[in-house]
Amino acid sequence: MTSRRTVLGSALGGTALAALPSVAHAAGTVDADGGAAAPGVRAPWKLRNRVASDGAWSAFLRGQDLVWHRLPKLWHEGPFLGDGRLGSMVYQEPGANSVRFTVQHGEVQDHRPEFGSGWGTCRLPVGHLTLDPVGTITAVDWRLSLWNAELTGTVTTDKGVLKLSALIHDGIFAARVTASGDEEVHWTFHPEEALSPRKISEAPPAGYVPNPAWTTRSTGDVQQVLQPLVGGGQTATAHRRTGDTLLLNVSHSFPSDTRAATDSLRKIQRAGTYNALRKQHTGWWQAFYRRSFVSVPDERLQSFHWIQLYKVASASRAGGPVMATCGPWLEPTPWPAVWWNLNLQLEYWLIHGSNHLELDALATTLRQNQEQLTANVPAAYRADSAGVGRSSDMFATRGVGTPGSGAEVGDLTWALHNAWLSYRHSMDESLLRDTVFPLLRRAINYYLHFLQPGDDGKLHLPSTLSPEYPVVPPRDTNYDLSLIRWGCTTLLEASARLKIDDPLKQRWQEVLAKLTPYPVDDNGFMIGGDTPYAQSHRHYSHMLMVYPLYLVNWDQPEQRELIEKSVVRWHALTGAHRGYSYTGAASLYAMMGRGDTALTYLKKFFDPTTRYPCRANTHYTEAGPVIETPLSASQSLHDMLCQSWGGVVRVFPAVPGAWADVTLHDFRTQGAFLVSAVRADGATRFVRVRSLAGEPLVIRHSLSGGPVTAVLDDGTPARTRAKGDGTLAVELAKNREVLLYTGARPDLDIAPVSPSEPGEPWGLP
């Protein structure tokens, strides 16, 4: 049978398919709605992965590339490169006949916490390169190749043509440019003042002393720009041009005010040729993409999703700096720091389903900075508590206020939910034991100091801020009540998994039993006690118990009316909504199983008539550049295609009706399962699940049309138990696989789907 999917090659590679057994010899069946198990027909099975070879991957990803046939003039129009630390945006030098390559770095920051995160510990500018042609630029033809993570193309002038290629790998920006006709290659590095990008919105605070001017020096053929800092430390930028190749490195040291100069010089002196760097670089990226595969029939949305995977890997790597609001592409902004009350969480959600936990700088930042998180709370609580303020530097340096003062106190707990998700998707006990449990224990302890019984016998929290809701902070904010409930529940589960008989166990149980209910009114969830949701608000913090915590969820029929009217009320009050208001609504409707409504809200983010839409290169801006919203849009797509919460893996839970064909491969879920599934002609054809940890598998498979056949990788029938509503419990040991289908065994192809909604490339095509 010839599939409607484009046939591109054989198996995807990656860890799951490399170990995939070739045949299974028998199957067991169970009625999809709860019938008894029955013997099946012996039949071999094997996933046939049509996107495996380099050629197949290259061809598929080429269809997702960004292209430019016009010269981008702004940062949100141009190509972008990065390696999780060093980043570069490419666009026309303002007011000049040159091409700007920004040079910014996620570790370059000031070190004066007394001036706050906006000025004292903010990310600092480094500089930019310009490619300065002899002639006047008349045209460009560029392609940002996702497969190679490389910008290639030409700049045409009235004097000739410049042919360029550029990439960033392991701290090195590398560009190769050749000239033809009467053109010449001229590069210039422009250092930028080490002053907070927040200068666009406010003056420096009282007592602030500007950082001193940079100095320059040469060592052989390497030029360096050295930037000392008042608060200690140094930034050093080294660059060298050899033949047609320019190499550049940025290093930052603190507290040392000399090491960065040594490091950057050594890095450039030891760097190889462009071709040598490119070989290492493309090897990393091409292994990266093979870890999972998603294809949907909306061509522009599919391309957007793959660009977000490229973006998040360009912006973050485990062990490196956690993403600030701009990622590594710093531009003038009011927000030159890490924001902990929504931005950070949204930035990292898509790494879980896409099977890219190697990018989790959030979890490693929490692990590496536990002492600082303790120091952030007032001294009276440091013996057992931890927290972080709304915004900070890469080391989480920001004090947190106390409940009762109207402070925003829940942000560390919410960030720990992301780390918990990384644990649940990996089942890595060391992450639970060394990071999540000790920090969550401290974060919840901070709350416990302030919970007080009321006249109603319930525990109440004094006034705290529901993030950015512009009213006097109420007591019992739903933001904090949600986090307290989730935190106590998770601590009990974690202590049981770690076999810790924690002395606080009884206290956590008491809090869960006595904590005041979520404040609600006729419109749904309120902001907090005595504070209705009464004016438009971009955040959905007051509904955190619904999404992403799922404490109140669609599997609870008695809660459905409350959930729905809360979401309707949130979007009924317009004016303050931003891009992530639409992506958040899409995910909330995906939880309800309403794929068409979810897609409608998701597409609002791409609608150019909205106030804050996605931009030409898939970046996003409000009062300044912010990276979280496009990344959260990819998570909304994930939520439509596969969810895992409440101990259940949900396959194709909210696929829009127009998407007759969808392919998922090695989609990672909670419980450390890798899910592969194909939807064709509007129906799920098969589901394959591989267990990486031996956790219990309960799956809502979306199969229909008769009894479900369940066969293990050794050909024996899987032991299953129907739980009703299309949900199946499957006994699946660690490193084993199960295949589920109905009727005759379908074609087991993993391949791209044909587009039913064509769209032009991102960029400026």
Whether 48 and 92 share a structural domain? no
Whether 149 and 219 share a structural domain? yes
- Give the SS3 label for residue 740: strand
Nearest to 511 by CA among 574, 446, 465: 446
| End-of-domain residue from the set 289, 315, 341 | 289
Q: What is the pLDDT of residue 37?
A: 36
Instruction: Give the mean pLDDT of 234-238.
Output: 98
Whether 117 and 36 share a structural domain? no
Please give the structure tokens belonging to residue 713: 């990788």
Q: Which residue has the tokens 């080490």?
A: 194
> Are residues 628 and 322 in contact, defined by beta-carbon separation less than 8 angstroms?
no
Q: Is the pLDDT score of 344 beyond 60?
A: yes
Q: What is the pLDDT of residue 7?
A: 30
Instruction: Give the mean pLDDT of 610-616.
Output: 94
- Per-residue pLDDT tens for 474-487? 899 999 999 999 99
Whether 138 and 35 share a structural domain? no
For the chain, the average pLDDT equals: 94
> Are residues 124 and 141 in contact, defined by beta-carbon separation less than 8 angstroms?
no
DSSP state of 358: G
Q: Is the dihedral of CA 449, 453, 454, 460 positive or negative?
A: positive
Instruction: Give the mean pLDDT of 714-729.
Output: 93
Whether 172 and 24 share a structural domain? no
Assign 225 a pLDDT band (cuts: 50, 70, 90).
very high
- Domain with residue 509: its CATH number is 1.50.10.10
Q: What is the pLDDT of residue 725?
A: 87
Instruction: Give the mean pLDDT of 218-242.
Output: 98
> Are residues 677 and 737 in contact, defined by beta-carbon separation less than 8 angstroms?
no
Whether 280 and 364 share a structural domain? no
In a domain, 524, yes or no: yes
DSSP state of 717: B
Nearest to 611 by CA among 579, 656, 655, 568: 579
Q: Is the pLDDT score of 33 beyond 60?
A: no
- Domain with residue 202: its CATH number is 2.70.98.50
Whether 738 and 667 share a structural domain? yes
Letter for the amino acid at 271?
Answer: A
Q: What is the domain count for the chain?
A: 3
Q: What is the pLDDT of residue 45?
A: 77
Tell me how far apart the alpha carbons of residues 190 and 553 are, in angstroms, rounded to a whole number.
53
Q: What is the pLDDT of residue 42?
A: 53
Please give the structure tokens belonging to residue 523: 């419109």
- Per-residue pLDDT tens for 490-525? 999 999 999 999 999 999 999 999 999 999 999 999
- In percent, the amount of the chain with pLDDT more than 90 equals 92
| End-of-domain residue from the set 258, 289, 320 | 289
Assign 43 a pLDDT band (cuts: 50, 70, 90).
low
Whether 684 and 721 share a structural domain? yes
DSSP state of 78: S
Assign 402 a pLDDT band (cuts: 50, 70, 90).
very high
Tell me how far apart the alpha carbons of residues 229 and 240 are, in angstroms, rounded to a whole number.
24
Whether 176 and 28 share a structural domain? no
Q: What is the pLDDT of residue 10?
A: 29
Q: Is the pLDDT score of 21 beyond 50?
A: no
In a domain, 698, yes or no: yes
Structural domain of residue 708, as residue ranges? Answer: 14-52+660-750
Nearest to 652 by CA among 595, 587, 698, 716: 595
Tell me how far apart the alpha carbons of residues 321 and 150 are, in angstroms, rounded to a whole number.
22
The pTM score is 0.94
| End-of-domain residue from the set 507, 534, 561 | 534
Letter for the amino acid at 263?
Answer: D
Tell me how far apart the alpha carbons of residues 702 and 720 are, in angstroms, rounded to a whole number.
16
